[in-house]
Amino acid sequence: MEVIERVDTIRERMQTLRCSGKRIGFVPTMGALHEGHLQLLRASVQENDITVCSIFVNPTQFNNPDDYKLYPRTIAQDTELLKTVGCDILFAPKAEDVYVQQSLLQFSFGPLEAVMEGEHRPGHFNGVATVVSKLFHFVQPHRAYFGQKDLQQVAIVKQLVQGLSFDVEVVRYPIVREEDGLAMSSRNKRLDAKQRQTAPSLYGALQLAKQQLGNKPVYSIKAAVEAYLSSMDEVQLEYFEITDPDTLRPLTNVQPGQEVALCIAAFVGPVRLIDNMLVNLNEV
């Protein structure tokens, strides 16, 4: 596996590969890799000639400086994991190479960034859009793979690709969970033993909501989720929404046969976690 740190080097390497007719798959990450990332990488290896994984903890998408500082960085372990799944190139740039000068660009995603993560993390999606645009220019992939856990981020990236006419297919893969239901996340590494036992309550809340869909009104389901999580030690709910799976706009009622996205964010101790579930009411 090649390890490339410089932007000019990755540009030259990818241009050579594309000119030789290679299909390039790309998995952008911030490191601290887990099975969710590995699922994306295996899919890319199977579906493309060359697979590139980037590891870059992007400073512009953190609206909390402490969160950026504490984000787990495990590059040595990540490198070994990438080798086990057949990744061809690890792109691990330095911040000063990605951001040669301060970025003044401002992206607007309209209603999509006004809810949930966009509402509670001002500037987050501007940072995401900036770094994804840069990475797409550097790596020039044919396909880019993202996990469903960051459902709103995937929607933002799809809108970015469409709006700027990037020649890349965005592929979304389902959430990978631990045996107790906790969505795999790099942030899970920051949970202590007690918090780790409590964290699956987010998945429990989604299951509770799913059970009540079609039988109770939306406001009642939201109240039930709030009550359920309020009984959990160290859990502070930030939001729970029942949304349209495409626009992610919150719904005030649901109809038979409708597909919805259940989306949740909560702090477990000091660690902010998100999760979601796609539900078709025909299957409830």
153 annotated to a ligand binding site = yes
148 annotated to a ligand binding site = yes
Catalytic residue IDs: 37
116 annotated to a ligand binding site = no
147 annotated to a ligand binding site = yes
Q: Which long-range contacts (CB under 8 A, 24 or more apart) does 72-75 make?
A: 72/31, 72/32, 72/186, 72/187, 72/189, 72/190, 73/31, 73/32, 74/31, 74/32, 74/33, 74/189, 75/31
Non-local (6+) Cβ contacts of 69 within 8 A are none
31 annotated to a ligand binding site = yes
94 annotated to a ligand binding site = no
33 annotated to a ligand binding site = yes
150 annotated to a ligand binding site = yes
61 annotated to a ligand binding site = yes
Non-local (6+) Cβ contacts of 101 within 8 A are none
As a whole number of angstroms, the distance between CA 52 and CA 129 comes to: 19
Give the count of alpha carbons within 13 A of 181, CB side only.
14
Question: Which residues are known binding-site members for ATP?
Answer: 30-37, 147-150, 176, 184-187
Residue numbers in the known binding site for beta-alanine are 61
- What residue numbers does the annotated binding site cover? 30-37, 61, 147-150, 153, 176, 184-187
Residues comprising the binding site for (R)-pantoate? 61, 153
